Amino acid sequence: MQQVLRQSVPDSTPAFTTRLANKRQTLVVAGKLGEDASAYEQLTLGRKLVAAACQQKAGSLGICVIGFDSARQAMIFNNVVAAALAAAFQLPSYQSKSSPPVIKTLRLLGADKIVDTARTEAEAKGNNLARWLTTMPPNKLDAISYADLVSAMAASGGWAYKRFNTKELTKLGAGAFLAVAQGNDNDSAGIIRLRYRPDKKTAKADLGLVGKGIIFDTGGTNLKPFLSMLDMHGDMQGSAVALGILVAISELKLPINVDCWLAITENRTGPLAYKSQDVVTAANGKTIQTVHTDAEGRMVLADTLVLACRDKPGILFDYATLTGSCVNAITTRYSGVFTNRPSLHPHLKKIGRESGERVWPFPIGKEFMEDLK
């Protein structure tokens, strides 16, 4: 096996897969990592190795990492565990005969020292929640059922839950959000605020999370073409990510105050849908003239960000599936980052590299504001 590994190319497909002739039917899947392999490469190879084990219906998975110092070994262990927890998670399936993952237990073998996987497990719980929500069909996860699910999670997690319905948003002057929501055939849209306070005090948030939750995006009056609309049940990924982060923070009982805002609605077409050239007033009193109704994400987030900023969080992160142009620029392998604090660019890129969720910063010059006038 060592000879096979020496001859294999790092970070490629599994280099060695075989079954040992014993009563337990042991399966060995081996792969090779370069000494400088990034977290993304570790996660990618880890997923390939776990997938090979899953194909053979392995019920118990032992993970062994050799050839690295203790710190590097612990990092690789955690990334392979993350890959295994993702592979073992059951995503929604509505087929008559589904094949659930078979991995039941994970074991870490040969570690130089005790490897703490608590953070990895908490992050996996948040990641898997986001994946599950994003996979749900739009008729199974509509705005009402989404709000009900979040309400139940809040009760279980000890978070404060508040849903601003359309009547309350009207009083708050959230005309940008309401313009998108008015195309719905029921009063299901709303903005949800979740508050995590580990010390039970009502102090302001150290961290604010905002997520775009467009349950389904038709493009509105400016209707999307078929292929562009096909996966638009996933246009709520931003809200799923924000919610998943809150889950991970709560699981780890981190000593920080967090507010999480979810902007949940559909962007439909129909007789009540908003139109190009409509003029609406956002919650901060600014007027917006609609150019294209498929820019609904910016509309709902405009008001949600205003409401979130009124509570003056220490720092605010906004997650959204914006936009096709960003995908064209940096592909789906990276996420675009826009910030009014350029000093954070190196830190954000570093965190992205370490987590395997790579990001790339875009400029926001003051002169760009002239284009919005």
CB atoms < 10 A from the CB of 84, how many?
24
Q: Which residues of 49-58 are buried (b: 16+ CB within 10 A; e: fewer)?
A: bbebbbeeeb
Q: Of the residues 298, 349, 353, 358, which is catalytic?
A: 298
Residue whose C-alpha is closest to residue 282's, from 305, 303, 304, 309: 303
Please say whether the beta carbons of 208 and 308 come within 8 A.
yes
Q: Of the residues 119, 131, 224, 358, which is catalytic?
A: 224
Residue 2 — φ and ψ, nearest 5°? -65, -35
Residue whose C-alpha is closest to residue 348's, from 362, 327, 331: 362
Active site residue 349: no
Active site residue 298: yes
Torsional sign, CA 367, 295, 351, 191: positive
Torsional sign, CA 99, 105, 109, 115: positive
Longest dimension (CA), the chain: 73
What positions carry a catalytic annotation? 224, 298
